Chains A and B, each alone.
Chain A
């Protein structure tokens, strides 16, 4: 057994807990999880059945934690996990899984399959079997500070641009602000209008906020690759920043996995509860709306639909606020089939969009989105995740569908009544 495999196996053994043991013991091979997975439904290849993606971990569980499995192993009836096998499983555990969680939502046995995939990635990563694309992104996040290699000067440059365009100062490192706003690299590089929208909304709602020079990046490639040590380093930056600035709430940007990383995994990674609240920007806007802090005027008149980011809706519990916000600024908002809790993934979540060799499969899986869009025929698609946005744009372009994708935060900001006009 090679040293890396040994490490991988050790990590896998460590992450197997009672839920995983219970899940493996409950699977009856009914195959329903395949029907929930876009990589199966769009390819028809049974190897993409979600529970099958965990086969090496299942065998290891059986061999290490059950008497019957130990006997089978002794008698040579159960094959040990090998390097070659894990290498082969890379495509199943990463390229063809976006951690979207539809499988976990349908399993009649109640198995939280995506929870297991997340844990299996820990072993894959430790044994050196994570895809180069995510590995590099994780490395850049640790050494440079962001997966796309964005450094503080780039953020400052964008701040200046936005200040000029919107005429609103962008605060940085303001102690005691109510909100600390995080960004994703994608927003810094591709969608700077997000930052402008935040400035406008906060000013409008009369809230104090700040960026943090030591923690501006929200995305967490450590979670995607399945390396809790890296994930912890990335989360710790945010925790230190938020505690240094004594903010009440940290706002996770329009990014699904950043939200999961910070909101649900963060405290567990650092081993203690946070001293501040974590909210997705859509939750914050929803709260502002409920408190009547958002005065809007006019409506979008074209036909709009909303793409629910998996980590925000199905895995995060935020389903209604985005709909209330859509209705606040739009007259013709239509829901796609399966929208909300069971919405189909864009195909690029969980780090999948960073895997170059997975592109062809990703585009094939995109057919399910295409079908959803074709059912309601929107003029534009609104979403609340920069990664979904990029992946949707790529898919739409590939299938030559002329559909712009926009962020909900900017759309809301566009309709805010100018303070002076009130």
Chain B
């Protein structure tokens, strides 16, 4: 298989398979989680303005009172990583073209120099977060194989994508094939690892916020 055949394969059958697993996995996992249901709360509510599932969904994007000082790397590094990743994934012209070819929806892209900068910043943030996971006693204690594995699963597509765009290290076609393949690996694993928080985080905040809203605890 030469470079071009490899690229054709990762862009064709391999992409299709990974998307099928990704989409089916997401639906299955969402069903697995939310079909468990919950009992109706029979206590009399004390509703209060400023407390609800929606409030908590928005509020938890920002640091909790007094915690930014205690965990600056987690908050700032985590914030930069999430925003940076979203910029690179969803605002890079070639990505938008791919999405358009799949679901026929598109939006304006950012200039590629800007995306390039965002990629560098995101990669740096991820390295800092990795160092913190190794150094910080709480994170090191909590970390399992899955934490290291999913870090790599997220870091590698980002790195190879940036290298491909910059035509570095490997021939462009090879690097691009590698990049696409690693993205596909990420898609396949996302529903079945902690990366699935990208979907359940909204449900979790909503459950917590609703419980607080019921009690009239504004957060």
Residues 244-287 of A contacting B (Cβ, < 8 Å): 263-268, 271-274, 277-278
Complex alpha-carbon distance, A373 and B33, angstroms: 44
B155 to chain A, nearest CB (A): 15
Which A residues lie within 8 Å of B209 (CB)? Answer: 110
A17: interface (CB < 8 Å): yes
The verdict on A23 contacting B36 (CB below 8 Å), with A31-B74, A31-B138 known, is no
Complex alpha-carbon distance, A274 and B45, angstroms: 12
A21 to chain B, nearest CB (A): 4
A368: interface (CB < 8 Å): no
Asked if B32 and A19 make an inter-chain contact with CB atoms under 8 angstroms apart, the answer reads no
The verdict on A35 contacting B44 (CB below 8 Å), with A17-B37, A25-B197, A110-B57 known, is no
Interface size class of A (residues with CB under 8 A): 35 or more
A73 to chain B, nearest CB (A): 14
A49: interface (CB < 8 Å): yes
Complex alpha-carbon distance, A323 and B174, angstroms: 67
Q: Which residues in B have some Cβ–Cβ distance to A below 8 Å? A: 28-29, 32-39, 41-44, 46, 48, 51, 56-57, 60-61, 64-67, 70-71, 74, 78, 136-144, 147, 192, 194, 196-197, 200-201, 203-209, 211-212, 215-219
Complex: chain B residue closest to A273, CB-CB: B42
B80 to chain A, nearest CB (A): 14
Q: Which residues in A have some Cβ–Cβ distance to B below 8 Å? A: 16-23, 25-32, 34-36, 40, 44, 46-47, 49, 51-52, 65-68, 104-112, 115, 263-268, 271-274, 277-278, 314-317, 337-338, 341-342
Label chain B's interface by main secondary structure: helix
Having A22-B200, A110-B60, one finds 4 other A-B pairs with CB under 8 Å, namely A110-B209, A317-B218, A341-B219, A342-B65
Which A residues lie within 8 Å of B192 (CB)? Answer: 68
What are 15 of the A-B contact pairs (CB < 8 Å)? A17-B37, A21-B32, A21-B33, A23-B207, A25-B196, A26-B197, A31-B142, A46-B138, A65-B32, A109-B205, A266-B43, A314-B217, A341-B65, A342-B64, A342-B65
Asked if B217 and A18 make an inter-chain contact with CB atoms under 8 angstroms apart, the answer reads no
| Set A29, A67, A315, A337: member contacting B28, Cβ < 8 A | A67
Which B residues lie within 8 Å of A263 (CB)? Answer: 43
Asked if B219 and A66 make an inter-chain contact with CB atoms under 8 angstroms apart, the answer reads no
Which A residues lie within 8 Å of B196 (CB)? Answer: 25
Complex: chain A residue closest to B194, CB-CB: A28
A294 to chain B, nearest CB (A): 22
A321 to chain B, nearest CB (A): 12
Most chain B Cβ neighbours within 10 Å, of A67, A111, A315, A316: A111
Which B residues lie within 8 Å of A46 (CB)? Answer: 137-138, 140-142
The verdict on A108 contacting B48 (CB below 8 Å), with A18-B34, A31-B74, A66-B32 known, is no
Asked if B142 and A110 make an inter-chain contact with CB atoms under 8 angstroms apart, the answer reads no
The verdict on A26 contacting B201 (CB below 8 Å), with A35-B71, A110-B209, A341-B217 known, is yes
The verdict on A30 contacting B43 (CB below 8 Å), with A18-B36, A110-B201 known, is no
Which B residues lie within 8 Å of A108 (CB)? Answer: 60-61, 64, 78
Asked if B217 and A49 make an inter-chain contact with CB atoms under 8 angstroms apart, the answer reads no
Complex: chain A residue closest to B34, CB-CB: A18
The verdict on A317 contacting B216 (CB below 8 Å), with A25-B29, A28-B197, A32-B74 known, is yes
